[in-house]
Amino acid sequence: MSGRDTDGEAGGDAADGERAGGGGETEMNLVTAVNETLARELHRDEAVRLLGYDLGPIGGVYRATDGLYETFGEDRVIDTPLSENGILGTAVGMAMRGERPVPEIQFLGFFYPAFGQFMYALAKMHKRSGGALDVPVTVRVPYGGGIKSSEYHSESTETFFVHTPGVRVVCPSTPRETKGLLAASVRSDDPVVFLEPKKIYRGFEEPVPDGDFTLPLDEARVVREGGDVTLIAWGAMVRRAETAADRVDADVEILDLRSLSPIDVDAVLDSVRRTGRCVVLHEARRTLGLGAELSALINEYALDSLRAPVKRATGYDVHFPGHQVEDAYMPDAQRAQYAVEAVMDYEF
Amino acid sequence: MALWSERRPSDDFHRVLAPDGSLVGDPPELGDDELKRLYRSFLQTRRLEEKLLRMQRRGEISIIARSLGEEAVALGSAAALAAGDWCFPTYRQTAARAYWGSPVDRSVASLMGAETETVNEHLPPDEEGEGVVFTPPYVPLTVNVTNAVGSAMADRFRGTDTVSLAYVGEGSTSEGDFHEALNFAGVYDAPVVTVCQNNQWAISVPAHRQTAAETFAQKADAHGVPHERVDGNDVLAMYEATKEAVKNARDGGGPAFIEAVTYRRVEHNTADEPGVYRDEEEAEYWAERDPLDRFDAYLRREGVIDDDWVEAVGADVDAEVQAGVERAREVPESDPERMFDNHLHGEPSWTARHQRAELRAEQRGENPFTDFDGSGL
Ligand SMILES: Cc1ncc(C[n+]2csc(CCOP(=O)(O)OP(=O)(O)O)c2C)c(N)n1
């Protein structure tokens, strides 16, 4: 019961491997990559429908859906009432009937009113129907701090989603990754929470393949190879990891997790078995942040390879602070560097 | 055909002052001093928001949401409260605070990004407790409305005659929380008044996309909550309608809902450009219905105020705003460690102590990750 694909591509196969449709590349930033990918998916498959408040004439508060309402009309780009639970619940219902909705929740900090629909329907429908019903819904959610806004506009609470079975959680770190992962998410027959790092929406540009382009949804990406320490990051933290790696006196392997759920455990263990050290860098609070799970996995399955304890360079266990002190909350390249240096200096 | 699919809402509502300031109903019984206090609060709100806008443009504060042209909603309704009542605002009721003398310095310091603990330390709140109690402004929409209902239920249980009042935007009435709040209010006869500040836009979404109902007031019907539609640009009508609702609630008559019809003449907040999604000519139509101009014309005609008085009060509020901003500027940058404060009572947990020590080390330029046995840094 997947969506009505217009060009004969089955919904699920995008997750099978990297695919580019050929052609050139265009430099663009991350939010433009979101926009282009949504336009492409709306064209490709008439079951794709965007929904959310402020998606229409304004084109989203971050302009991620700029121009799409004009191009595709109000039944494809649906400007909704101000109701997160309504948005998610109706998206699930549409998906049960063969649509392929792509709802937007304006900020991660305002997702919580939709937790009822998230837990009861989105994440559970496939299982409850014994696999008979698919809910191919991709929920786009801008997340993360460092934008000098207020608490609820800066949170990074991916753990809530990762802790819930039955839903994929995907988080791109560059414009190219955004295109490949968003297209694959929309085409996936699973529900996906797609976390967009708004801090770097306009942070930088890079070449993005012009044609049809998807990336696998359950493979981590080796950003750079190294032999001394594995630095795991995702979203906006990947760039900070790269800066830290440039600065430290160690050969750092950077792993961009990309899929936060399910985790590409093989990639994590392979890397750590080679380097013997690991640092996890994330914006989220530390307790039960994804770093805790990664650390546990490494401890359970790669203890023999470890030359130092796994360290977590993260946010603190506090509510996201006001903008005067947010820089002190946010993990930056310096914090990542300290953690890398600490595990490099450690001796059993 | 629903009213909201029209360009402008019906003016089938309670009104005392016509847009030109002439009386079209019986004015509430307010003495000259009370009328002047309303006027002064109006002016203070405008001057404060103008000042904040300049500060925002200079980068001194991050984002503000102005209420220009909508002030009468918060002002008239808040003025109908009494000392000891509780008020649950969102970000768009500057005028309610102005009326109750809520200090400018504290709100400006918060907008400058200071942690509340720092603000409390350097600009302690009034301890006298003589006014209305304001909760911190709510940012997550409609969360305040259920809280206000609970607050009102607490008053009923205790037999106190305090009233709770919550504000909600018309867009926010689409949230489930809104209906849950009104339902509880009805079922428990809670002494709570909910004022819907219908400024017809929720960022870019117009009111007619929020509901197929003819009015927002109507939404209260399903919950058995009495409701009234009021001209939100008429401060006297707002005062009158809220006064009646508050009195009724105080006397054990249960909840009420007021839809105040107004218009968001300015941007949603300073990050927004309304020209992208709406016809800005509408704002001109509403500028002609400005709530302060209307009140001004009325008071002059009644001989309550004149040029000299207005000028003097203008200078007075400017000085007050300026002094408040100066005091806010003198509040030192928040110590990053403040972020750990006020999470749990009692002794800080192991985690809180260790993470705080890490932050402190990092601030000193030391490696915070050198603790490998849990003994601390
Ligand atoms: C639960 C929640 N969802 C989304 C937002 C983001 N947001 C802030 S203000 C706003 C529009 C509110 O419109 P309305 O209720 O009409 O009030 P107004 O701002 O016009 O006074 C939105 C969507 C939020 N603050 N909280």
Q: Domain of A102: which CATH number?
A: 3.40.50.970
Going by the DSSP 8-state scheme, the letter that residue B173 receives in this structure is: G
Question: Is residue A43 situated within a structural domain?
Answer: yes
Cα of B33 to nearest chain A Cα, Å: 39
Provide the pLDDT for residue B197. 98
Query: pLDDT digits over A290-304, tens only?
Result: 999 999 999 999 999
Task: Give the pair of three-digit tokens for residue A125.
Answer: 């429908």
- Supply the residues of A annotated as catalytic: 153
Question: Is residue A17 situated within a structural domain?
Answer: no
Provide the pLDDT for residue A1. 35
Chain A contacts of B358, Cβ < 8 Å?
A: 316
Question: Is residue A6 situated within a structural domain?
Answer: no
Q: Whose structure tokens read 């899929």?
A: A259
CATH number at residue A230: 3.40.50.920
Question: Is residue A8 situated within a structural domain?
Answer: no
Cα of B307 to nearest chain A Cα, Å: 41
Dihedral, CA of residue A124, residue A130, residue A135 and residue A136, to nearest 10: 110
Gap between the Cα atoms of A304 and B40, Å rounded: 73
Provide the pLDDT for residue B127. 67
Q: How far is it between the farthest Cα atoms of chain B?
A: 78
Chain B contacts of A109, Cβ < 8 Å?
A: 140
How many helices (H) and strands (E) are present in chain B, helices listed first?
Answer: 12, 8
Question: Is residue A76 situated within a structural domain?
Answer: yes
* A166 and A283 inside one domain: no
* A170 and A271 inside one domain: no
Name which of A265, A250, A148 is nearest A198 in CA terms: A148
* A30 and A156 inside one domain: yes
**In what order do the strands lie in the sheet containing A192-197?**
A138-143, A192-197, A168-170, A259-261
Provide the pLDDT for residue B231. 97
* A205 and A225 inside one domain: no
Provide the pLDDT for residue A3. 37
* A123 and A153 inside one domain: yes
Provide the pLDDT for residue A7. 36
- Res. A5 pLDDT band, cuts 50 70 90: very low
| Confidence check: pLDDT of A211 > 60 | yes
Residue in B with minimal Cα distance to A84: B175
- CATH T-level fold of B32-330: Rossmann fold (3.40.50)
CA-proximal residue: ligand 1, atom 17 (nearest) = B169
| Confidence check: pLDDT of A244 > 60 | yes
Mean pLDDT of A113-136: 97
CA-proximal residue: ligand 1, atom 21 (nearest) = B169
Cα(A66) to centroid(ligand 1), Å = 20
Query: pLDDT digits over B215-231, tens only?
Result: 999 999 999 999 999 99
Which of A140, A174, A209 is the C-terminal boundary of a domain?
Answer: A209
Within a 10 A sphere around the Cβ of A116, how many other Cβ atoms?
15
Cα Rg, chain B, nearest whole Å: 22
| Confidence check: pLDDT of A12 > 70 | no
- Which atom of ligand 1 sits closest to the CA of residue A112? 1
Site residues for ligand 1, CB cut-off 6 Å: A 53, 82, 106, 110, 113; B 92, 139-141, 169-172, 197, 199, 201-203, 264, 268
Residues 209-228 of chain B with CB under 8 A from chain A are 209-211
Gap between the Cα atoms of B118 and B103, Å rounded: 15
- Supply the residues of B annotated as catalytic: 264, 268, 277
Name which of A68, A26, A16, A8 is nearest A214 in CA terms: A16
Provide the pLDDT for residue B283. 87
Chain B contacts of A85, Cβ < 8 Å?
A: 175-176
CA-proximal residue: ligand 1, atom 19 (nearest) = B202
Provide the pLDDT for residue B6. 52
Report how far apart, in Å, the C-alpha atoms of B206 and of each of B4, B140, B171, B290, B375 are: 9, 19, 8, 20, 58
| Confidence check: pLDDT of A251 > 70 | yes
Gap between the Cα atoms of A95 and A101, Å rounded: 6
Domain regions of chain B by residue span: 32-330, 336-376
Task: Give the pair of three-digit tokens for residue A190.
Answer: 């699973």
Burial of B332 (0-12, 13-18, 19+ CB in 10 A): exposed
| Confidence check: pLDDT of A268 > 70 | yes
Q: Determine which of A65, A83, A198, A329 to mutate to test the interface with B (most B C-beta atoms within 10 Å).
A: A83
Question: Is residue A276 situated within a structural domain?
Answer: yes
CA dihedral for B194, B200, B202, B203, sign (positive or negative):
negative
Task: Give the pair of three-digit tokens for residue B121.
Answer: 């330390």
| Confidence check: pLDDT of A73 > 60 | yes
Residues 104-163 of chain B with CB under 8 A from chain A are 110, 112-116, 139-141
Query: pLDDT digits over B10-69, tens only?
Result: 888 999 999 999 999 999 999 999 999 999 999 999 999 999 999 999 999 989 999 999
Burial of A204 (0-12, 13-18, 19+ CB in 10 A): exposed
Question: Is residue A5 situated within a structural domain?
Answer: no
| Confidence check: pLDDT of A4 > 50 | no
Which of A209, A235, A250 is the C-terminal boundary of a domain?
Answer: A209
* A62 and A160 inside one domain: yes
Chain A contacts of B63, Cβ < 8 Å?
A: 149-150
Cα of A313 to nearest chain B Cα, Å: 8
What's this model's pTM, rounded to 2 decimal places? 0.95
Within a 10 A sphere around the Cβ of A53, how many other Cβ atoms?
28
Q: Report how many domains make up chain A.
A: 2
Q: Given the DSSP bridges, would you call strands A252-256 and A221-224 parallel, antiparallel or unpaired?
A: antiparallel
Provide the pLDDT for residue B110. 93
Task: Give the pair of three-digit tokens for residue A104.
Answer: 């937007």
Name which of A154, A116, A160 is nearest A288 in CA terms: A160
Local mean pLDDT, 10-residue blocks, chain B (377 residues):
58 94 96 98 98 96 95 98 97 97 93 93 79 95 98 96 98 98 98 98 95 94 98 98 98 98 96 91 91 98 98 98 97 96 96 98 98 94
| Confidence check: pLDDT of A143 > 90 | yes
| Confidence check: pLDDT of A318 > 70 | yes
Q: Whose structure tokens read 């206000």?
A: B148
| Confidence check: pLDDT of A8 > 90 | no
| Confidence check: pLDDT of A226 > 80 | yes
- Collapsing DSSP to helix, strand or coil, B144 comes out as helix
Cα Rg, chain A, nearest whole Å: 20
* A47 and A151 inside one domain: yes
Of B177, B202, B355, Cβ closest to residue A53: B202
Burial of A21 (0-12, 13-18, 19+ CB in 10 A): exposed
Burial of A55 (0-12, 13-18, 19+ CB in 10 A): buried
For residue A47, the one-letter residue type is A
Residue in B with minimal Cα distance to A287: B351
Instruction: Show Cβ contacts of residue A72 under 8 Å, excluding neighbours closer than 6 positions.
Output: A42
Name which of A230, A228, A244, A235 is nearest A295 in CA terms: A230
* A281 and A253 inside one domain: yes
Chain B contacts of A145, Cβ < 8 Å?
A: none
Mean pLDDT of chain B: 95
* A248 and A155 inside one domain: no
Q: Do B113 and A148 touch (CB under 8 A)?
A: yes
Contact (CB, 8 A) for B361 and B367: yes
Mean pLDDT of chain A: 94
* A170 and A242 inside one domain: no
| Confidence check: pLDDT of A88 > 90 | yes
Residue in B with minimal Cα distance to A340: B369
Question: Which structural domain, as residue segments, surrounds residue A164?
Answer: 25-209
Which of A177, A209, A241 is the C-terminal boundary of a domain?
Answer: A209
Provide the pLDDT for residue B7. 64
| Vertex B125 angle, CA B245 and B133, to 5° | 15
Q: Do A309 and B113 touch (CB under 8 A)?
A: no
Question: Is residue A317 situated within a structural domain?
Answer: yes
- Res. A16 pLDDT band, cuts 50 70 90: low
ipTM over 0.90: yes
Gap between the Cα atoms of A314 and B50, Å rounded: 39
* A42 and A156 inside one domain: yes
* A39 and A181 inside one domain: yes
Going by the DSSP 8-state scheme, the letter that residue A221 receives in this structure is: E
- Collapsing DSSP to helix, strand or coil, A182 comes out as helix
